[in-house]
A and B are shown apart, each in its own frame.
Chain A
Amino acid sequence: MIRNQKDFGAGILYIVLGAIGWYIARDYGMGQASRMGPGYFPTVLSVLLIAFGVAAVIRSFVGKEGEKVGNFNWKGVLYICGAVALFGLLLIPAGLIIALIVLSIVSAAASHYFKFEWKAVGALFILVVFCALVFAKGLGVPMPLLGTWFGG
């Protein structure tokens, strides 16, 4: 039985990432110690990471009882990461104003307290105007206020 879920999960994470690292690094030249190739460091590190992963998995079975990992906040991950990705997608074609509105509303939907409020609409308006003025106009970050869809 897994006695420590956190150790087990972290161990698997290390093993998977280490294995990917090692697999890709096979194509890079190892070289010799005097002239290390690009693959030398990545291979050593990947193997180390796998080793720590194995150790963590073993410890999760024989070690002390640990805390449970608990529910995974799928909704949070989906809305937060999704909102940020949508911002990236929309920024150039739709422009900063729409991208910001989408980012704010989609991410806010991750909260239990998400509902329509005039106060929130006002806050969003101020936020968008602030960002447009400070970042796009003031600091000159090259973001179109209205994107290519609107001929911007």
Chain B
Amino acid sequence: MELLGNLWIGAQTAFTLWNLFYCLLGCFLGTAIGVLPGLGPTATIAMLLPITFGLPPVSALIMLSGIYYGAQYGGSTTAILVNLPGESSSVVTALDGYQLARQGHAGRALAIAAIGSFFAGTVCTLLIALFAPPLAEVALKFGPAEYFSLMVLGLVASIVLASGSLLHALGMIVLGLLLGLVGTDVNSGTARYSFGIPELADGISFVTVAMGIFGLGEIIANLAHEQTRSVMMKKVTGLMPTWADLKLTFPAMVRGTSLGAVLGILPGGGAMLASFSAYALEKKVSKNSANFGKGAIEGVAAPEAANNAGSQTSFIPMLTLGIPSNPVMALMIGAMIIQGIQPGPSVMTEQPALFWGIVVSMWVGNVMLLILNLPLIGLWVKMIAVPYHYLFPAILVFCAIGTFSLSNSTFDVYLMAVFGLLGYIFHKFGCEPAPMMLGFILGPMMEEFLRRALLLSKGDPMILVTRPISAVMLGLAVVLLIMVLTPALRKKREEAFAEEAD
């Protein structure tokens, strides 16, 4: 069995003492920062990214993956205990989870959330191991035309999946594409939008933008409506799930996992849409749907499974194609480049130990989270209880040192302050920053691939439609765009998001 052989290669990498340690450290740090309200996974990873610079590539990526699911897991804990979802994908977990906590069942909710996440994580790690190799094989045949069309399809899909206004999703993507162009043009050597500043000629670092917008911008927004909050539970008990609960929630976990796995591969709001639609689906099919919103345990299991499934499968396009499907994956790609790895389909064939090591460590990380989180819940409760006015100056300190350490330049620190302001303005005007981040990372890649494609075809844009794979992808993009613009479907989409917002 090739699969077993591959997993064996991965296990040899993932189960070394140091990599186990970095995986544990990543999960621990990710959860610790993830439980802090108002800090989502993107800001957490951006903040902690500099710590991994000195590590060997495999360990760095293992630790970053650990931080990612740790942060997501921490977000759910906060959602259940204080009704303050740290990130958009745990909003729905708060609906029933917080009700359960109020009724004194916080332990049950946390345990089911942990088990749901673990179940989804295990299934999706297997999915990655099964589907990544054939996908990478196809991707190796891709030329510049295919890559360009794939990115167009990805951006269009992220528009469809973005919550809120279509127009703003489009606007933010274009703005991101434009921002991505800052720096020296590879082909002509022209420094674009550099305003004569040498630091800008190297381009803007993705990490700086992410910390500015998701870190600083969020802090300013949070400070506008500052309030003290109280933690429901001083002591959480009943962490061992009962058979009845497991039997009740197992179908919900399966449904959530399948929905999340599919949506996670898609670019844009994958993980968020996954948890929203899993909740909606569960509410429809469940026998006690009247209880939803009042503390139904299935209402915790389904979105948590979907959420973790989505975050797991979002690794697939990143690992096999080198294309990020969300801002977190863009940070991962950034980390790979810093480590001297060119992301893309060749990673799997050229560095099997790295690739399979990461895949196996995902499962290890999920086991660790399950073991780590339930006994440590007391510590997390204490972390949540730290008042925000103590917390945010510390977050700023880590952001400032982190940005500085990217290229040891204070210029990045100033730039982060500018993006903090911009992030707050976006927040005020209701512009989603996630599509912008996607555009930002894809912009330079798209330009490069389009130029190369047209160079190969001697300027004939027909190359994009005469190559079959490219034509299919562009066709899909057009169909999606038409679908989303059709009045009837548009209304349906708005209704879907409105229902979720309730």
In the complex the two chains form, what is the Cα distance from A68 to B455 in whole Å? 49
Q: How far is the CB of B450 from chain A (nearest CB, A)?
A: 8
Report how far A149 CA is from B105 CA in the complex, Å: 57
Interface flag for A120 (CB, 8 Å): yes
CB distance from A112 to the nearest CB of B (A): 6
Is A104's CB under 8 angstroms from B188's CB? no
Q: A33-B459, A52-B174, A113-B226 are in contact. Are A85 and B413 (CB under 8 A)?
A: yes
Cα–Cα distance between A70 and B458 once the two chains are bound (Å): 53
- Once the chains bind, are B414 and A107 in contact (CB under 8 Å)? no
Q: How many angstroms from the CA of A62 to the CA of B70 in the assembled complex? A: 45
* With known contacts A10-B429, A41-B181, A139-B405, A84–B174 Cβ distance under 8 A: no
Which of A9, A33, A45, A71 contacts B429, CB < 8 Å?
Answer: A9
Residue total for B at the interface (Cβ-Cβ under 8 A): 68
Q: Are B414 and A85 in contact (CB under 8 A)?
A: yes
The docked-state distance in angstroms from the alpha carbon of A135 to that of B167 is 43
Residue pairs across A and B with CB atoms within 8 Å: the count is 197
- B390–A103 CB distance below 8 A: no
CA of A81 to CA of B419, assembled, Å: 9
Question: Which of chain A's residues 74-91 have a Cβ closer than 8 Å to chain B?
Answer: 76-77, 80-85, 87-89, 91
B216 surroundings in chain A (CB, below 8 A): 80-81, 84
Secondary structure dominating the interface of B:
helix
Residue of A nearest to B446 (CB): A41
Please tell me if the beta carbons of A72 and B428 are within 8 angstroms of each other in the complex.
yes
The answer for the CA separation of A140 and B54 in the assembled complex, in Å, is 9
CB of B397 within 8 Å of the partner chain: yes
Give the distance to chain A from B54, nearest Cβ to Cβ, in Å. 6
Q: Is B394 an interface residue when CB atoms closer than 8 A count as contact?
A: yes
In the assembled complex, the Cα of A69 lies from the Cα of B428 at a distance in Å of 6
A34–B455 touching, CB < 8 Å = yes
The distance in angstroms between the C-alpha atoms of A134 and B482, with both chains bound, is: 53
Find chain A residues with CB under 8 A from B187 CB: 36, 38
Contact assessment for A141 and B389 in the assembled complex, using a CB-CB cutoff below 8 Å: no
The B-contacting residues of A in range 9-61, CB under 8 angstroms, are: 9-10, 13-14, 17-18, 21, 24-25, 28-29, 32-38, 41-42, 45-46, 48-49, 52-53, 55-56, 59
Which residue in chain A gives the minimum CB-CB distance to B165?
A7
CA–CA, A65 and B408, complex, Å: 48
Is the CB of A2 closer than 8 A to any CB of chain B?
A: no
**A–B Cβ pairs within 8 angstroms, 10 of them:** A7-B165, A7-B429, A13-B431, A34-B459, A36-B451, A38-B187, A38-B192, A69-B429, A84-B413, A88-B400
Enumerate the 10 nearest inter-chain pairs by beta-carbon distance, A residue then B residue, closest first. A34-B459, A88-B413, A111-B389, A38-B185, A52-B171, A10-B429, A76-B220, A73-B224, A88-B410, A38-B190
Given contacts A83-B396, A114-B389, 9 further A-B contacts (CB under 8 A): A28-B192, A34-B457, A38-B185, A53-B171, A80-B220, A84-B216, A88-B400, A108-B393, A127-B394
| A interface, CB within 8 angstroms of B | 6-7, 9-10, 13-14, 17-18, 21, 24-25, 28-29, 32-38, 41-42, 45-46, 48-49, 52-53, 55-56, 59, 67, 69-73, 76-77, 80-85, 87-89, 91-92, 100, 103-105, 107-108, 110-114, 120, 123, 127, 131, 135, 139-143
